[in-house]
Structure 1
Amino acid sequence: MQAFVFAVIAFATAHSLLAYGLAFLLAGAEAFPVIGALVPGTAVIVGLGALVPGGALAMWPLIGATAAGAITGDGLSYLFGRHYKQHAMAMWPLRKRPGLLASGEAFFTRHGSKAVLISRFLPGVRAAIPMVAGMSGMAAARFYAVDACAAGLFAPAHILFGMAIGASLTVLHAIAGRLVVLVLSLALAVWLVVWLTPWVIRRTLGLLARLRGPVRHWAEAGDGWARRLVRSLLDPERPETLGLLVLGFALIGGLGLFFGVLQDVLAGDPLVRADLAVFHLLQSLRVPIVDQVMVAITELGDARVVVPVLLAVLVWLSWQRAWRAAVYGVAAVAGASLFAFLLKITLQQPRPGGLYHGWNAYSFPSGHATASVALYGFLVVLICREVGARARFAVTLAAVLFVGAIAFSRLYLGAHWLSDIMAGLAFGVAWVALLGIVYLQHARRDVRAGGLAGAGLAALLVAGGLHIATAHSADMRRYALALPTRQMAAAAWLDGGWAALPVRRVDLLGDYEEPFTLQWAGPLAPLRAALLAQGWQPPVPWDLSSSVEFLLPNAQPDALPVLPHLDNGRAEALVLIKTGGDVPANQRLVLRLWPSGTVLSGGAKAQPLWIGTAVAERIEHLKPLASLFDERNDVNGALRILKSALPGALTQSRAPTVSGPAWNGEVLLGPP
């Protein structure tokens, strides 16, 4: 079987156009009873996905062919079971497998309609469930709706898994570090959301339960509009009371966060500096294969997807004659989008890069984040009003993850600053909470939450799939990695332009750290060679043995690795240390250089400009526990030793207003 799979994949590599038809046939064949168990469809489909990173196949046509094949195969199996019912088991080859129907029926009885979705991912029952669904009389519309969702999840999951394998085999040597950091960061973010969402819900419900008695006692002790409002909210005859209180907390929290971010943006507080740091960090972690996924996710937040989903929701609500809910749904999306547009053209905050033109070139707040929270947040309000506690949690978590993915994609692709995303999410939550409070106060008609969720999900899959299929290539070019650089003449740099470069390093939270005392023009190799000749050395790399050194109470300064520092999200391009000689025995000097984002012109070839810091670190032996480093504030001592190692460097001084006792304001310019 393994040789057969490899032969099929080799055939697909040589005949790329036929590979899509092969994916269609194999995905469909797996749905046929008995035959499906003999077809290695999953293995081949994953193998075809591995051909995408190398350019042999295209991702979206392959996903589309796989999904279409899965729907077609499941549909034929369903129609077969619906037409022949129990007589099907007397036909060949089903009569050879009498236990197949029994296991399929048991699985379908246990899970109901969800069995169609679950079985798509379980090879053991995948070949029986569509036929069993037809034999049991499951409605065709219901079957195809669930099956479309199953195929829409099955195809991307297998193709993307195969693409990950292919990417690891072809480009892992170049992107392994960035990919690991990015995957771990995303995994941590998802884990936080999955853990934090139920924790917040439990804490909020617990707090409301504890406060309900005292607050109700206060409300009943007097009169006035405030007490009457509280009595109305806490009326035990109103089941939506708890939801109103949760929305009230969301309204207060959302408004507080929005105005806090807005104040920071207008005042230029550290959050604005953190914007640049997060931008550079994420751009440094970008990987081509992840770019494909992030562009697809950001396209799901485009207006060409949001509007069809809203229209589908409105059609369903109109069919249910839930006119009030339809009006509030329009108000949620239209109001949030209008607010974001007005704020953009009022503040006119520029985006990180020139991705858009016209009013779309303005950044604050993120329209994708605002509109997505408004649409899917209000859907959560409508659905949670009619379902149980477990379904509320599942729906809320799904919406949080989906909207969070869209928001993160805007950050990852460099389309927005962190403050844009935070403001958009905060205002969207507050706006949905306000509308939800008013709606729940007057809601009188159910909207049939299951059908509403199905209509919205179907519209999302159809509109999203069509938009991705038609716009993905152009959007990949739009969001291609292009870090902004500034041009400066070399003569202008020496004549005072050096003073326009940053004075201090900015960490990931936007705080100012140690000053930049070195600016180096050109390749770093000559600087590295000059310092190595003067007794500087590379630090020991981070590995298990060097990390264990921190646990030794008598570790030497040159035996410990250097803690990484970021400047505006950029990683160091060069790190050297100096021990011994003029450096005290319990100390070491650490030199770090980062790209400045500036290129010097004027010679035969443009030269990159680097900015660096030199600091002294004192080792502290916490006997008998460990050894730690304490970064010293004496920049002048480190600068003096660095200057002696680069005797030809030009020394300049910054204005006294930016220097101090620990730093005399001197900056070294090189090469000589």
Structure 2
Amino acid sequence: MGLLHAFVAAIITFAAAHRLLAYGLAFLLAGAETFPVVGALVPGTAIIIGLGALVPGGALAMWPLIGFTAFGALTGDGLSYLFGRHYKQQAMGLWPLRARPGLLGAGEAFFARHGSKAVLISRFLPGVRAAIPMVAGMAGMSAVRFYVVDVCAAALFALAHIWFGMALGASLSILHAIAGRLAVLALILAASLALVVWLTPRIIRRSMALLARLRGPVRQWAGAGDGWARRLVSSALDPERPETLGLLVLGAALIGGLWLFFGVLQDVIAGDPLVRADAAIFHFLQSLRTPAIDQVMVAITELGDAAVVIPVFLVTLAWLVWRRAWRAAFYGFAAVAGASLFAFLMKITLQYARPSTGFTGWDSYSFPSGHATASTALYGFLVVLICREAGARARVLVTLGTVLLVGAIAFSRLYLGAHWLSDVTAGLAFGVAWVALLGIVYLQHARSEVGARGLGMAGLAALLVAAGLQIGTKHAADMRRYALNLPVREMSLTDWRNGGWASMPVWRVDLTGDYEEPFILQWAGPLPPLKAALLAHGWQVPVAWNLSSSAEWLLPDAKADALPVLPHLENGRAEALLMIKTGQDVPHGQRLIVRVWPSGTVLTDAGNTQPLWIGTVVAEKIEHLKPLGTLVDEQDSVDVPMQDLKSALPGTQPEARIPPGPNWNGEVLLGQP
């Protein structure tokens, strides 16, 4: 196994140095994996993923690599298919198939069970990948059908493997300083999308199965006595009513939505950790913004604008009126109008300020997100209407599509800095609860059919037309409106020295809103002098995150200065300076780490401005878990590493910040060049 790993690593290293040959290698490996017996000996998947890992660093280009991989997979599958089509059953007596007689048997069974879909599925299953194209040819599958399916399979295979490799390659560089902003955001979106696509159908199926199992026992309980609660449950679970399970699902959504909404509301009013997490996530997402992704996110957020929601809403009402589904039209109107009115009243009542200053009037109020609330209400009630008449598969697809659409709109509000996380969460939660309540009442009295297929097509057409017009006419203006504009606080240098330093945060806040280690350093001015002073006193820049340094964690005797440092975020911001200290001045088995972040404040002096930085210092204990690897444990006490930092910066002035405690003497060091 170690020899195979070394072989794969050598090929990837060679590919990084020879770009054109790397593309050819991807073509050959993707094709070779489809040949029976031979394909099992070729580590094509591992090498293709490794080649994808070279893309974020610029060694290879993404689309050419994807194209060569897809074309190689298509070519290999095609040759295997033609081989089987030509030789048919005679192929089983030819080399190398006669050496593996069970391979074609497994492939034939798989193909008989799945039919044409086997060509697509097998592309991602190493066990039968090398047999299915040949079996398809032997079974007489038409060439047109085979190549239509195989083109899709080859494209998906290439995209999945190259993007997965890119995610692995990008994650190593991300850990160094969260510098690969586009890669980080791509990972977040890809993980979120994969989670939604994977969870949604499973939650629906599991929920329906659970409710079906509980239906009998609950009906027995309801029929065993009298009382309004038993009668209500008995009516809701009447087997003559096909929408019973839907009612129960909506009931669960109502309870969950209300619980989440009031939980968020309580945290916002009380200023609980969720409010601190709001600011941390805001700064984190703003640090990931890039012009290319801004274009996409602005377009997505425009899907939730009133200029898009209202036309879709009106087309929906018009369809329901045309179908004479008066009750559905009434509840549809109540869903959107009620949710929008509620969001407006909450905004003017709480008057919770947005993170961005690009809004005026009542629109400058933030809680809850109007985009999230209205979109959830409109598209959620459409799901209720369509799923009442659609089949099981259509229900899953419609629900999944709606979740992706509303989730994308909600995320775009966070990414563009238009809302806090609590705003979006509350808007989604209330929208779900409101739709569930109206859906329960509607399904209790629904009589007429709404024409689910036509309603869905009309709503989709209205969405596409309205979105196209909105994006085409408003996109440039919205790009200016949502331009990155982080608020910066100003303070005079004199005021900072005379006590303004005490207004800086005391503790680092992580992404979850929790308080972490204390800020024991404030530095006024540029960072190079601070870095130079630390270098002069034995501090050093830690090793960067890469394949080689990452492997150090797997060694049971790794040295302290060979291990890369895990990044920490402060209120969503990445470190601007990160340094470590090891050696004789540091206790055995430990290393000191100093981290410095921008404070969000600039200091003014005689018309000039200079940044203000805040920093922490901690000690990490190196733990060797022989023979498993190495771990680090951050120590609670900061007094010892703080004394070392103070000696490295003799010009700093200690000031008492809080009363001394067991892990911190309460002092902060104020310094400048």
Q: Deviation at 1:214?
A: 1.5
Distance in 2 separating the partners of 1:520 and 1:655: 19
Alignment of 1:24-63 (within 5 A): none
Change in CA separation of 1:175 and 1:654 when aligned onto 2, cut-off 3 Å: closer
Aligned residue in 2 for 1:355: 358
Shift of 1:416: 0.1
Shift of 1:355: 1.8
Q: What secondary structure is seen at the aligned counterpart in 1 of 2:612?
A: strand
Question: Is 1:217 paired with 2:220?
Answer: yes
Q: What whole-Å deviation, never above 9, does each CA across 1:425-484 have from its counterpart, x for those lacking one?
A: 000000000000000000000000111011111111111111111111110000000111
Q: Give the TM-score normalised by structure 2.
A: 0.73
- Residue 252 of structure 1 corresponds to which residue in structure 2? 255
Query: Which residue number in structure 2 is paired with residue 132 of structure 1?
Result: none
Aligned residue runs from structure 1 range 253-652, under 5 A: 253-652=256-655
Asked whether the equivalents of residues 343 and 368 of structure 2 are also in contact (C-alpha less than 8 Å), the reply is: yes
**What residue in structure 2 maps to residue 47 of structure 1?**
none
- Report the alpha carbon displacement of residue 251 of structure 1 after superposing the two structures with TM: 0.3
SS in structure 2 at match of 1:363: coil
Q: How does 1:234-253 map to 2 (within 5 A)?
A: 234-253=237-256
Structure-1 residue corresponding to 2:662: 661
Q: In structure 1, the residue corresponding to 2:587 is in which secondary structure?
A: coil
Q: How far apart in 2 are the matches of 1:325 and 1:518?
A: 62
Distance 1:200 1:359 in 2: 38
Deviation at 1:585, TM superposition (A): 2.1
**Hey, what does 2:69 align to over in structure 1?**
none
CA contact (8 A) 2:508 2:571 kept: yes
Distance 1:331 1:608 in 2: 52
**In structure 1, what is the Cα distance between the partners aligned to 2:584 and 2:314?**
74
Partners of 1:246 and 1:478 in 2: how far apart?
Answer: 40
SS of the counterpart of 2:613?
A: strand
CA deviation digits over 1:612-662, x for unaligned, max 9? 000000101111111111000110001000000000111111132xx5210
Asked if the contact 2:577/2:597 (under 8 Å) is kept, the reply is yes
Counterpart amino acid of 1:385? R
Q: How much has 1:604 moved relative to structure 2?
A: 4.7
Match of 1:69 in 2: none
CA distance in 2, matches of 1:339, 1:585: 61
Shift of 1:491: 0.4
- Counterpart code for 2:550: S
Q: Which residue of 2 aligns with 1:41?
A: none
- Residues 178, 184 of structure 2: 8 Å contact kept: no
**Percentage identity across paired residues of the two chains:** 74
* RMSD after superposition: 2.2
Deviation at 1:605? 2.1
Give the aligned residue type for 1:669. L
- In 1, the alpha carbon distance for the partners of 2:552 and 2:333 equals 61
Residue deviations 1:481-509, cap 9 Å, x none?
01111000000001000010000000010
Deviations 1:252-311 (A, max 9, x none): 000000011111111111111110111001000001011011101101101111011000
- Residues in 1 aligned to 2:266 and 2:217: alpha-carbon distance in whole angstroms: 35
- Selected match of 2:194 from 181, 191, 194: 191
> What corresponds to 1:671 in structure 2?
672
1:522-558 CA-partner distances (Å, limit 9, x unpaired): 1100000110011100001111111111111111111
CA shift at 1:575, angstroms?
0.2
| Whole-Å separation in 1 of the counterparts to 2:627 and 2:281 | 39
Tell me if structure 2 keeps the 8 A contact 1:175–1:287. Answer: no
Residue identity in the other structure for 1:279: F
* Cα gap change, 1:361 to 1:604, in 2 (>3 Å): closer
Task: Give 3-state SS (helix, strand or coil) of 1:445's partner.
Answer: coil
Q: Which amino acid in the other structure matches residue 558 of structure 1?
A: D
On the 8 A contact 2:212/2:245 being kept in 1, the answer is no
Q: Which residue of 2 aligns with 1:56?
A: none
Consecutive unaligned residues in structure 1, runs of 5 or more:
1-109, 111-123, 130-173
State the distance in 1 between where 2:607 and 2:464 align: 54
Q: Is the 8 A contact 2:590 2:622 kept in 1?
A: yes
Distance 1:629 1:210 in 2: 48
Whole-angstrom distance in 1 between the partners of 2:606 and 2:429:
49
User: Match for 2:593: what amino acid?
Assistant: V
Matching residue's letter, 1:391: A
Given that 1:369 and 1:406 are in contact with CA atoms closer than 8 Å, whether structure 2 keeps it comes out as yes
Q: Tell me the CA shift for residue 206 of structure 1.
A: 2.5
* Alpha-carbon distance in structure 1 between the residues aligned to 2:261 and 2:241: 31
Q: Which moved more, 1:620-629 or 1:390-399?
A: 620-629
SS at match of 1:591: strand
Structure 1 window deviating more from structure 2 (394-403 vs 351-360): it is: 351-360
Q: Which amino acid aligns with 2:355?
A: P
Cα distance in 2 for residues equivalent to 1:274 and 1:229: 42
Please give the secondary structure, in 1, of the residue aligned with 2:356.
coil
Kept in 1, the 8 Å contact 2:294–2:416? The answer is: yes
> What letter corresponds to residue 485 of structure 1 in structure 2?
V
* SS class of match (1:582): coil
Amino acid of the structure 2 residue aligned with 1:341 = F
For structure 2, the 5+ residue unaligned runs are 1-115, 117-142, 149-176
Equivalent residue of 2:252, what SS?
helix
Aligned-partner Cα distance in 2 for 1:400–1:577 = 45
Q: Is the 8 A contact 1:277 1:508 kept in 2?
A: yes
Matched residue of 1:385: which SS?
A: helix
Structure 1 stretches of 4+ moved >2 Å: none
Matched residue type, 2:665: N
Which letter does structure 1 place at the counterpart of 2:500? G
Q: Matched residue pairs, number?
A: 507
SS at match of 1:571: coil
Q: Is the CA contact (8 Å cut-off) linking 1:255 and 1:426 kept in structure 2?
A: yes
1:122-161 paired onto structure 2 within 5 Å: none
Residue 176 of structure 1: CA displacement? Answer: 7.8
CA distance in 2, matches of 1:390, 1:336: 29
Instruction: Describe the superposition over 1:578-632 as per-residue Cα deviations: whole angstroms up to 9, x where unpaired.
Output: 1113211210000000110000001452001110000000101111111111000
SS in 1 for 2:630: strand
Determine which of 232, 235, 244 is the counterpart of 2:235: 232
CA distance in 2, matches of 1:176, 1:664: 34
Q: Determine if contact 1:508/1:569 at 8 Å carries over to the other structure.
A: yes
Q: What is the one-letter code of the residue matched to 2:205?
A: R
Once the two structures are superposed, residues 117-174 of structure 1 have per-residue CA deviations (whole angstroms, 9 ceiling, x without a partner) of xxxxxxx99xxx9xxxxxxxxxxxxxxxxxxxxxxxxxxxxxxxxxxxxxxxxxxxx9
